[in-house]
Chains A and B, each alone.
Chain A
């Protein structure tokens, strides 16, 4: 009897461990998503896949299926996603700095070597210069990298009020290569990307929690204040509120689906050409 147990111990346990090792990654991928958490941030990758930051998880949504992308090992809180002009995906947040995702290997690369600290509140990528990235820290101001995050240089203090979220736009009319639109605690601030001067973009007031623009028609800018989506068709001069079925918490422009809104209930909604909202199924 003892020898039977010994045989079991020596032959079955290694088999069990082998099976566990084989199936653990699959189990991790298939872990239930907390779909009801508010969407924190949305972006798309080079292939048009929608990436959603929700409930502390990053999920890739493609063809109606959702796959969890493990987040980088960091004690920080991921709050901000950006898509580089080359389609690379960047993640940032307080306590974690800035990271780039390698789609081929599934690894995250830290881009924090030359940042003064990891207190990054928001990140953005240049609309058409693949290596140019921006990171904002309430403590230290605006940083820019022109080499995909290897070297960061402080370029500006940022707008007067703290930035919650921001983007780079290739809207025409800039002295340099585009514009920065920053959602602050006062409203939307706008500056050419020479950081010449931050001024109010119109008279929309309140804390902006999400911002996006239409790359195909860059004068169209969208901003969310207290869950309400606002639209400007003239580069941020005049704003009007848009009806959305749920309070909005995140925004992105998908090449395939157009304006995508993440909601307080964890849903993703895409805006049709007639202004109607339809679910982006995951």
Chain B
């Protein structure tokens, strides 16, 4: 069943990608970041946006009582989390505790992505942030070392 859901995601994501303005082009991006971008656009962009812009009205629960996917760009709060916490959220998924449903609104990717692929995505997320935010996140990661 899960396999069929992911097949559907793989088919639908490119359509969303085109609809929301296409892939980001970053001049001179290193190969590992290009890989991170590829994984991000394949698995994350459908909910968090190709430009990391997140869902509309992400700060309020939607009609199902669930918090929508937040942005990963500088307007969001991803940069406030340590690498260890980001890794955990991608691997294990996440449900906001005040959601009205019990499901993981952020799916768990531990059976889909390797540890290396998850780290590549986190590296790519950093490209969405300001220099000040990257510095803050680096300090958070030092205080809470990565897996």
Q: Which of B59, B89, B143 contacts A175 (CB 8 A)?
A: B89
Instruction: For chain A, give the interface size range.
Output: 10 to 19
Tell me if B80 and A194 are in contact (CB < 8 A): yes
Tell me if A146 and B143 are in contact (CB < 8 A): yes
Q: Which of A172, A176, A197 contacts B59 (CB 8 A)?
A: A197
Expressed in whole angstroms, the Cα–Cα distance for A197 and B59 within the complex equals 8
Q: Which of A169-228 contact B (CB under 8 A)?
A: 172-176, 194-197, 199
Tell me if A196 and B80 are in contact (CB < 8 A): yes
Tell me if A175 and B94 are in contact (CB < 8 A): yes
Contacts of B77 in A (CB 8 A): 194-197
Tell me if A175 and B98 are in contact (CB < 8 A): no
Q: Which of A146, A172, A175, A237 contacts B81 (CB 8 A)?
A: A175
> Interface 1/0s, chain A 154-180, versus B by CB < 8 A?
000000000000000000111110000
Tell me if B97 and A195 are in contact (CB < 8 A): no
Expressed in whole angstroms, the Cα–Cα distance for A174 and B60 within the complex equals 17
Expressed in whole angstroms, the Cα–Cα distance for A146 and B89 within the complex equals 24
Is there a chain A Cβ closer than 8 Å to B85's Cβ? yes
Contacts of A196 in B (CB 8 A): 70, 77, 80-81
Expressed in whole angstroms, the Cα–Cα distance for A66 and B80 within the complex equals 44
> Interface 1/0s, chain B 70-82, versus A by CB < 8 A?
1000000100110
Tell me if B85 and A176 are in contact (CB < 8 A): yes
Is there a chain B Cβ closer than 8 Å to A235's Cβ? yes
Expressed in whole angstroms, the Cα–Cα distance for A196 and B98 within the complex equals 15
In the complex, how many angstroms separate the beta carbon of A100 from the nearest chain B beta carbon? Answer: 22
Return the chain B residue nearest A202 by Cβ.
B98
Expressed in whole angstroms, the Cα–Cα distance for A90 and B81 within the complex equals 28
Number of A-B contacts (CB under 8 A): 29
Contacts of A173 in B (CB 8 A): 97-98
Tell me if A199 and B143 are in contact (CB < 8 A): no
Q: If A146-B143, A196-B77, A196-B80 touch, does A235 touch B98 (CB 8 Å cutoff)?
A: yes
Q: How many residues of B contact A (CB 8 A)?
A: 12
Expressed in whole angstroms, the Cα–Cα distance for A274 and B85 within the complex equals 41
Contacts of A194 in B (CB 8 A): 77, 80-81, 85
Which of B70, B77, B89, B143 has the largest count of A CB atoms less than 10 A from its CB? B77
Contacts of B94 in A (CB 8 A): 175
Return the chain B residue nearest A174 by Cβ.
B97
In the complex, how many angstroms separate the beta carbon of A187 from the nearest chain B beta carbon? Answer: 16
In the complex, how many angstroms separate the beta carbon of B60 from the nearest chain A beta carbon? Answer: 8
Tell me if B143 and A195 are in contact (CB < 8 A): no
Which of A173, A174, A194, A237 has the largest count of B CB atoms less than 10 A from its CB? A194
Expressed in whole angstroms, the Cα–Cα distance for A279 and B98 within the complex equals 36
Return the chain B residue nearest A236 by Cβ.
B98
Q: If A194-B80, A195-B80 touch, does A172 touch B97 (CB 8 Å cutoff)?
A: yes
Contacts of B97 in A (CB 8 A): 172-174, 235
Contacts of B81 in A (CB 8 A): 175-176, 194, 196
> Interface 1/0s, chain B 84-116, versus A by CB < 8 A?
010001000010011000000000000000000
Expressed in whole angstroms, the Cα–Cα distance for A47 and B89 within the complex equals 39
> Interface 1/0s, chain A 117-158, versus B by CB < 8 A?
000000000000000000000000000001000000000000
Contacts of B85 in A (CB 8 A): 175-176, 194
Contacts of A175 in B (CB 8 A): 81, 85, 89, 94
Expressed in whole angstroms, the Cα–Cα distance for A174 and B94 within the complex equals 10
Sampled A-B contacts (10; CB under 8 Å)? A175-B85, A175-B89, A175-B94, A194-B80, A195-B77, A195-B80, A196-B80, A197-B59, A197-B70, A235-B97
B interface residues, Cβ below 8 angstroms from A:
59-60, 70, 77, 80-81, 85, 89, 94, 97-98, 143
Given contacts A175-B81, A196-B77, 6 further A-B contacts (CB under 8 A): A175-B89, A175-B94, A194-B80, A195-B80, A196-B70, A197-B77
3 closest A-B pairs by CB? A173-B97, A196-B77, A194-B80
